[in-house]
Structure 1
Amino acid sequence: MADITVVIPSYNSIDTIEAAIGSALAQTIPVNVIVVDDCSKDETVRKVQHLAEQNTNLKLIVQPQNRGPSAARNRAISEVKTSWIAILDADDYMHPDRLRKMLDVGVKEQLDLVADDLIRVPDTSQPASGTRLWADQAIGLVRMDAGRFALENLNARTGNRRELGYLKPIIRSEFLTAHAIAYNEDMRLSEDYDIYMRCLLAGARFGVIDPCGYFSVDYPYSLSKEFASADLRRVLDRDREYLTHPGLADEARRSISQHKIQAYKHWAWMHLIERVRDRDLAGALATFVAPPVIVATLLARVIRHALGKEPVPQSGGRAAQVQSIEQIMAAS
């Protein structure tokens, strides 16, 4: 009997879905796998149907219309019968012993979420090296609360694309059910950050451990993906909602407020660009009706743009260290 179900949302994933599913089915403990296809236009569905015919513990669900990864994950989670849920993206894959290691920690430490520091690897068949997302050295077990989690999602602290919101934990099913927590389906950006934060605010016991073998593949096109200001605004709105949570600790309030300012800066810049492109002068000027720190950031970026300079990233933080896969995995 499986203790864990691997949830894989899929959209136009014909080139990667077999590797993702294969890595889930190859786990050293029994697992169920649910793939939810979000109206792919390629042959993804046919590929998964073929694999499901050969594996009784693989289930395919096809969405009636494209609704985004959050809705796809929620659809899969609604079918889960196991004690734990694991999230896997359709273009990533796992080490065979990953889920056993994570489950052992979750049970022993009585956690509700267990996240291993993921490993970013290049798009090659057998990568020899990669980079850890969050910490370059062994961390053991780090327990997260809402304040620490928000802090570790600040670009200026972690470095660009090293935020904890990228992690893919295993989650105790009973906790999500008991607190009626699901992915926000109106979010197509930072939806992972949002659900983890809401779990923490609901009292989740959340532990981050060394890499157990979640391999996040870096594709060149994924780095240039753009989002509309409406997507960024939803991140800002979520931070504002967190700050209304009753009994929020002072440390958490400070950290979430910092994340809110970061989200506000990202939204304001994109919103300004969109208003200028639409020749909406009034809308563009209205963007400057904001707190001083936001106005200062906007003015600085406008000046850099006028001078023909590329925008300077709003992030310092740590630079990732390239290491061999053996070195990274040795920490766990």
Structure 2
Amino acid sequence: MTSTRPDASVIVPVYNCEPWLEALLRSVLDQQGVDLEVIAICDGATDGSLSVLESMAARDARIRVVTQENRGVSATRNVGLSLARGEWIVFADGDDWMKPGTMRTWIEHGEKHDLDVVIGNGFSFDALPAPADPPPMYERQPWGEICTGTAWLERTVPNDDWVVCVWLQCVRRRFVEAHGLRFEEGVVHEDIIWALGVGLHARRVGFVREPCYGYRRNPASITRSPSQADVARRAAGYLRVIDALVTAALDPRTDRSLSRILLRQANREGGHLLHVLRKRLHDDDLRKSFARQFLQSGYIRVMLKGATNASEMWRALRCWRIYSRFAT
């Protein structure tokens, strides 16, 4: 395919992923039937990631290398969004891998059905070569259907099958620009807030069942890091996610059924925060601060309002009891 504008811009935030970066980029560059550009943003990496980028860019003009001081993955993806020229935007992480034909499958599906967003499927792996027939990450998407973004939320959030992973979202660039979609900077779990914005604005969402994108189970990722600074950032991220969900749920423009679903998701996120505070965060002062923020924001009431069964009601009451203990 040849055009003045690439079919796809692949945005790759790069931070200390030297051992896996070449494999990811090669899997992207080897995608056939798609005219693409790769925007690789080196986010203050302290290993040899930049050397890998520069070496590969010297051999393939489709790679555009941007360097910056460390600003975090949200700010890095936003830089990529500001530079993207493709009709479609695809996200990839530097330690992951893409099966051959992934982007052609996603984009052809999006063009055929005039979609704003294509939701793909993925699989987890530990090392390459990837498994030949891996189990999919998602089972209960509306496969074979086209729906609005709010219908996507209503059908997947209650089943805990909401695709918040941005690397499984192939998004039309003009849709992103029309709604000013950006990642919230400085926030962990930013994918959830992004996916919420996508769901609230998309007119047409379609789905590709085949697990094409490989997510590497990397023990060095921030969600697995034992660093107390990283754990505290995760806790702060959950507070921000809950706030985003509650704000959207209470917006007068939000349909009542969707509002209930978003509050139910806030109930879940409150439970995730509880796990982090109980099991991962060992600093008593930080634990007390987060518990107080949660209680003072009225989120126990939100969790109770979002509870739809006895288990979720129990989760809210348990959070109230334990957060109250932490806060004293």
Contact 2:124 2:216 in 1 (8 A): yes
Q: Which residue of 2 aligns with 1:253?
A: 259
1:112-151 paired onto structure 2 within 5 Å: 112-135=116-139, 139-141=143-145, 143=147, 145-146=149-150, 148-149=152-153
Secondary structure of 1:199's match? helix
Contact 1:27 1:98 in 2 (8 A): yes
**Unaligned segments of structure 1, at least 5 residues:** 303-332
- Give yes or no for the alignment of 1:277 onto 2:284: yes
What amino acid sits opposite 1:48 in the alignment? L
What amino acid sits opposite 1:298 in the alignment? C
Contact 1:276 1:284 in 2 (8 A): no
Pair 180,125 (structure 1): closer, same or farther in 2 beyond 3 Å:
same
Contact 1:52 1:59 in 2 (8 A): yes
Contact 1:37 1:60 in 2 (8 A): yes
Secondary structure of 1:186's match? coil
Pair 10,150 (structure 1): closer, same or farther in 2 beyond 3 Å:
farther
Distance 1:169 1:42 in 2: 29
Pair 287,172 (structure 1): closer, same or farther in 2 beyond 3 Å:
closer
- Give yes or no for the alignment of 1:211 onto 2:210: yes
What amino acid sits opposite 2:180 in the alignment? A
Deviation at 1:275, TM superposition (A): 8.4
Distance 1:174 1:137 in 2: 24
Q: Which structure shows the bigger proportion of residues in helix conformation? A: 2
TM-score (norm 1): 0.78
Deviation at 1:286, TM superposition (A): 8.1
Contact 2:250 2:259 in 1 (8 A): no
Q: Which residue of 2 aligns with 1:174?
A: 174
What amino acid sits opposite 1:47 in the alignment? V
What CA RMSD, in Å, does the superposition of the two structures yield over aligned residues? 3.0
Contact 1:112 1:204 in 2 (8 A): yes
Secondary structure of 2:164's match? helix
The structure whose RCO (Cα within 8 Å, separation 6+) is larger is 1
Q: Which residue of 2 aligns with 1:324?
A: none
Cα shift readout 1:197-221 (whole Å, capped 9, x = no counterpart): 2122224422222126111122345
Q: Which residue of 2 aligns with 1:93?
A: 97
**Unaligned segments of structure 2, at least 5 residues:** 305-312, 324-328
What amino acid sits opposite 2:35 in the alignment? P
Identity over the aligned pairs, expressed in percent? 22
Residues paired across the two proteins, number? 295
What amino acid sits opposite 2:259 in the alignment? R
Contact 1:146 1:197 in 2 (8 A): no
TM-score (norm 2): 0.79
| Bigger Cα displacement from structure 2, 97-106 vs 129-138 | 129-138
Cα shift readout 1:118-137 (whole Å, capped 9, x = no counterpart): 12223233423422111189
